[in-house]
């Protein structure tokens, strides 16, 4: 006699949850109640769902679970950034990072155990790739972080600071798919997670506050624009095909002209009227005045803003961060051309939680980490030389 695996409710859409409850004779409003218990209240025990009938709770306990990947390590940075390492089985681990700011709280979550894109400036690429995450594993990062942060806030409110201003309705105000992996190469599972983030009976985030970052998977950009348009960030990192082929190997399949056309198509559906171009600043590689001029030409083709990212070095890359003065001058060149430009503040680098540093622990099935140094770093250095 085979034992049926419990259904993990974290990964079910509203429709799937309604269908499941309907199998037991339950009304659709019961599914909404259950969804609110799981996602809004962070319940992990059916016994806690006190407004559900006892018989219904018994059915849930028999057939279902609320299963989040276990946390192996939690780290806190001196700047308030927090990082969680989630065990996703078979010696693979992924990371999520919470970045508190004065006007928002941003959670950066992962979509894959590793990454196949293998950009040479990103430590995740050196981990190789093992597998895609499920919707439950993706949304589980949000579920856990939200639950922990709300518990901490509640503890602070009942402590010495109990007379402080009322707590905000949401600790996590923004979610960005900028952790480990290329989200659009795990499209179906990411789409399920995005829809839960936007669902008013789950996390209730607005489309403007959920961002998918892609290195330029053009066909999936078009699908996302039709299926679930959220804010879009594109990992550009180079202003011409010759350099981007080396920095973002996916460019060899979807070159810049194709990518920029896809960005314009996405803008027809996007909740924001611009695309964010992420641009990592690499000393002597992509930070010259000529590169800035080429970016200005790109900005004339797509409504966009630039987010310049100081490179966070790691030993395998062989690359260096552009000096602060060069970053400021580069940004000024873009702003003088009328382009909205920001420089990302490095957060959490003391716990390897900054942009490009997420590595987790991946049992590589692709041998990318063996091929990457010869293919990418050496070529880049030759171009500089």
Write down the catalytic residue from 108, 122, 304, 355.
Answer: 355
pLDDT at 153 over 60: yes
- Find the CATH number of the domain harbouring 282: 3.20.20.70
Q: What is the pLDDT of residue 352?
A: 54
CB-based burial of residue 211 (10 Å sphere; 0-12 exposed, 13-18 middle, 19+ buried)?
buried
- Find the CATH number of the domain harbouring 59: 1.10.150.530
pLDDT at 125 over 80: no
Both 140 and 197 in one domain: the answer is: yes
Both 57 and 142 in one domain: the answer is: no
Both 48 and 14 in one domain: the answer is: yes
Residue 2 in any domain: the answer is no
Least confident window among 29-33, 213-217, 361-365: 361-365
Can you point out the beta strands (E) in the chain?
7-8, 64-65, 71-76, 82-87, 93-100, 105-108, 112-114, 129-132, 174-177, 210-214, 231-235, 275-281, 304-310, 341-343
Both 28 and 159 in one domain: the answer is: no
Write down the catalytic residue from 64, 95, 115, 119.
Answer: 95
- Domains: count for the chain: 2
| 22: Cβ contacts below 8 Å, ≥ 6 apart | 28, 31
189 neighbors 111 (Cβ within 8 angstroms): yes
pLDDT at 271 over 90: yes
| 16: Cβ contacts below 8 Å, ≥ 6 apart | none
Supply the DSSP symbol for 3. Answer: P
Of 282, 246, 94, the residue nearest 177 (C-alpha): 94
Q: What is the pLDDT of residue 118?
A: 87
> Which of 50, 65, 80 marks a domain boundary?
65
Q: What is the pLDDT of residue 4?
A: 79
Both 15 and 153 in one domain: the answer is: no
Both 24 and 167 in one domain: the answer is: no
Of 72, 103, 110, 75, the residue nearest 89 (C-alpha): 72
Both 286 and 321 in one domain: the answer is: yes
Q: What is the pLDDT of residue 239?
A: 98
Three-state SS for 321? strand
Tally the residues of the chain: 385
Q: What is the pLDDT of residue 111?
A: 97
Both 57 and 83 in one domain: the answer is: no
Q: List the structure tokens of 61.
A: 């306990």
pLDDT at 307 over 60: yes
Q: pLDDT tier at 312 (50, 70, 90 boundaries)?
A: confident
Residue 327 in any domain: the answer is yes
Residue 49 in any domain: the answer is yes
Question: What rounded mean pLDDT belongs to the chain?
Answer: 88
Both 78 and 50 in one domain: the answer is: no
Residue 38 in any domain: the answer is yes
Three-state SS for 29? helix
How far apart (Å, rounded) are the C-alpha atoms in residues 333 and 336?
5
> Which of 65, 81, 112 marks a domain boundary?
65
Q: Which residue has the higher pLDDT, 312 or 162?
A: 312
Q: What is the pLDDT of residue 368?
A: 56
pLDDT digits 0-9 by tens, 48-88: 999 999 999 999 999 999 999 999 999 998 888 999 999 99
3-state helix, strand, coil in the chain (%, to 5): 45, 20, 40
Question: Catalytic: 95?
Answer: yes
180 neighbors 358 (Cβ within 8 angstroms): yes
Of 49, 130, 53, 135, the residue nearest 94 (C-alpha): 130
The domain in which residue 23 lies consists of 7-65
Of 295, 283, 380, 385, the residue nearest 334 (C-alpha): 295
Q: What is the pLDDT of residue 215?
A: 97
Question: Catalytic: 263?
Answer: no
pLDDT digits 0-9 by tens, 217-264: 999 999 999 999 999 999 999 999 999 999 999 999 999 999 999 999
Q: What is the pLDDT of residue 260?
A: 98
Both 45 and 92 in one domain: the answer is: no
Three-state SS for 190? helix
> Which of 45, 65, 85 marks a domain boundary?
65
SS (H, E, C) 334-345: HHHCCCCEEECC
Both 272 and 360 in one domain: the answer is: yes
Residue 251 in any domain: the answer is yes
Both 40 and 157 in one domain: the answer is: no
Residue 1 in any domain: the answer is no
Q: What is the pLDDT of residue 378?
A: 36
Q: What is the pLDDT of residue 78?
A: 87
Residue 364 in any domain: the answer is yes
Three-state SS for 277? strand
143 neighbors 75 (Cβ within 8 angstroms): no
């Amino acid at each position: 006699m085979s034992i049926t695996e419990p259904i993990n409710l974290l990964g079910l859409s509203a429709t799937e949850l309604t269908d499941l409850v309907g199998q037991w004779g339950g009304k659709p409003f019961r599914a909404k109640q259950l969804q609110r218990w799981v996602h809004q209240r962070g319940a992990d025990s059916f016994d806690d769902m006190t407004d559900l009938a006892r018989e219904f709770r018994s059915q849930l306990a028999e057939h279902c679970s609320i299963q989040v990947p276990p946390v192996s390590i939690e780290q806190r940075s001196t700047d308030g950034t927090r990082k969680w390492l989630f065990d996703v089985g078979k010696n693979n681990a992924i990371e999520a990072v919470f970045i508190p700011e004065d006007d928002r709280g941003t959670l950066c979550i992962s979509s894959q155990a590793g990454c196949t894109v293998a950009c040479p400036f990103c430590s995740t690429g050196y981990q190789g790739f093992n597998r895609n995450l499920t919707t439950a594993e993706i949304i589980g990062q949000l579920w856990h972080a939200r639950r922990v942060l709300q518990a901490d806030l509640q503890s602070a409110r009942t402590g010495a600071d109990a007379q402080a201003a009322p707590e905000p309705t949401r600790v996590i105000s923004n979610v960005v798919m900028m952790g480990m992996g290329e989200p659009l190469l795990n499209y179906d599972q990411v789409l399920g997670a995005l829809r839960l983030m936007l669902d008013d009976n789950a996390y209730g985030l607005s489309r403007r506050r959920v961002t998918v970052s892609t290195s330029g998977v053009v066909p999936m950009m078009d699908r996302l624009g039709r299926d679930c348009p959220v804010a879009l960030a594109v990992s550009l990192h180079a202003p011409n095909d010759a350099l981007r082929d080396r920095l973002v190997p996916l460019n060899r399949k979807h070159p810049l002209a194709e990518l920029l056309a896809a960005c314009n198509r996405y803008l027809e559906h996007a909740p924001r009227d611009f695309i964010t171009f992420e641009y990592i600043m690499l000393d002597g590689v992509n930070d010259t005045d000529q590169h800035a001029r080429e970016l200005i030409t790109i900005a004339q083709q797509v409504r966009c803003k630039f987010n310049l990212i100081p490179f966070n070095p790691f030993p395998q890359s062989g690359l260096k961060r552009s000096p602060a003065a060069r970053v400021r001058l580069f940004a000024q060149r873009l702003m003088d051309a009328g382009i909205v430009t920001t420089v990302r503040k490095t957060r959490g680098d003391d716990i390897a939680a900054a942009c490009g540093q997420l590595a987790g622990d991946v049992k590589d099935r692709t041998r990318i980490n063996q091929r990457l140094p010869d293919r990418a770093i050496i070529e880049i250095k030759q171009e500089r030389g």
